[in-house]
Amino acid sequence: MMGRIWALFLRYMYQFLKPDQFSEFFYWPAIDIFLWGMTSVWIQHQDPGSHLAAAILTGLIFWQILWRASFEITMSLLQEFWNRNLVNLFSTPLKLHEWIFSLLFLGSVKIVISLLFGSLFVYILYSLNVFSLGWIFLPYAALLMLSGWFIGFLAAGIMICYGQRTQSLAWMTAYLFAPFSAVFYPVEVLPTWAQKIAYCLPTTYVFEGMRQLLLTQLFSWQPILMSLGLNVLYLGASITFFVVMFEKSRNKGLSRLE
């Protein structure tokens, strides 16, 4: 089992290390950090006493974690569509849960790389050390990774059943959750109906908790536990959804997806 998980991890890492993929992995986060960072610096100059710039930049880096976690799952699936490799893979002894584990492992490794790169870039450009809060940021990052995975498997479940015509979900789905997750602004600014949705999402508790920590230096376990509970629930549900949709797809034939 471990050999097959490792094989798939290698399959995606070989692909990742190709110049086009490797540069893209760093290009978009770098552009985001530069654009939003400069915007934050400008806001900071308007109101020097606030922590607004730090809140926006930290939100940005943490949003990258969620988006990257989601995108790794959906993009790995798309790679198999585009390479006409899905039938090849699933005509080997590979089991579906091994493929899922390999994606989670791959996602974890890439998120660590992404996080380190983003933090270093922010430090170089804006002298902001996101680690200055200590290692307390780690649970937040881990929770966002779980949220990214649940969103990723949700999108992948639809893609594995309906094929390449739904491939834009790979990019879109995570952003569907962004307005309700209070990434850059507090939940209170959302309309009431949107706040109800926001409090059903594990991401909201992470961004709210993180902002509270940045602005008030007060750490609370409550948002972390709320987020963890919802993440476990949603991730379990989305993986189940993916497995059900995979079986539904197998009923129609995997070869039609290529």
Partner 1 sequence: MHKLWGFGTCLKTPSFFDTERDSRIDFFSLFNMVLAVRNLRKVYKTNKTSFVAVDDVSFDLAPGEILGLLGPNGAGKTTTIQLLLSTLKPTSGSIHYFGKDFFKYRSEILNDVVFASTYVSLPYTLTVSQNLDIFGRLYGISGKELVTRIDPLLDRFGLLDKKKNRVATLSAGQVTRLMLVKAFMVRPKIVLLDEPTASLDPDIAQEVCQFVLEQRDTHGTSILITSHNMTEVSELCDRVLFLKNGKIIADDLPDRLARSVSRCRMQLVIVDGVKRTQAVADMLQMPYRLDHKMIEITLDESEIANLLQNLAARAVVYTSIAIIQPTLEDYFLKMVGKKI
- Minimum gap (Å) between residue 222 Cβ and partner 1: 43
- Residue 22 touching partner 1 (CB under 8 A): no
For partner 1, what does the binding mask look like between residues 191 and 220, x meaning CB under 8 A? ------------------------------
Query: Among 11, 68, 110, 211, which residue sits at the site for partner 1 (rule: CB under 8 A)?
Result: 11
Q: What is the sign of the dihedral through the CA atoms of 118, 124, 130 and 134?
A: positive
Using the rule CB under 8 A, give the single segment among 22-30, 78-86, 161-169, 228-236 that binds partner 1.
78-86
- Residue 15 touching partner 1 (CB under 8 A): yes
Query: Among 6, 27, 131, 221, which residue sits at the site for partner 1 (rule: CB under 8 A)?
Result: 6
Query: Among 84, 124, 164, 189, which residue sits at the site for partner 1 (rule: CB under 8 A)?
Result: 84
Q: Which two tokens stand for residue 24?
A: 């893209």
Using the rule CB under 8 A, give the single segment among 1-9, 32-40, 140-148, 216-224 that binds partner 1.
1-9
- Residue 244 touching partner 1 (CB under 8 A): no
Question: Could you tell me which of 175, 141, 155 has the C-alpha nearest to residue 103?
Answer: 155
Nearer to partner 1, 20 or 188 (CB): 20
Query: Among 30, 41, 43, 87, which residue sits at the site for partner 1 (rule: CB under 8 A)?
Result: 87
Phi and psi torsions of 127, nearest 5°: 55, 30
- Residue 254 touching partner 1 (CB under 8 A): yes
- Residue 83 touching partner 1 (CB under 8 A): yes
- Minimum gap (Å) between residue 20 Cβ and partner 1: 8
Distance between CA atoms of residues 57 and 187, nearest Å: 18
Distance between CA atoms of residues 139 and 141, nearest Å: 5
Nearer to partner 1, 92 or 217 (CB): 92
b/e 144-172 (16+ beta carbons within 10 angstroms → b)? bbbbbbbbbbbbbbbbbbbeeebbebbee
Distance between CA atoms of residues 223 and 213, nearest Å: 11
Phi and psi torsions of 135, nearest 5°: -80, 10
Distance between CA atoms of residues 132 and 130, nearest Å: 5
- Residue 90 touching partner 1 (CB under 8 A): yes
Coil, helix or strand at residue 210: helix
Residue 194 C-beta-side C-alpha neighbours within 13 Å: 14
Nearer to partner 1, 8 or 210 (CB): 8
Chain residues binding partner 1 by CB under 8 A are 3-4, 6-8, 10-11, 14-15, 18, 20-21, 79, 83-95, 247, 250-255, 258
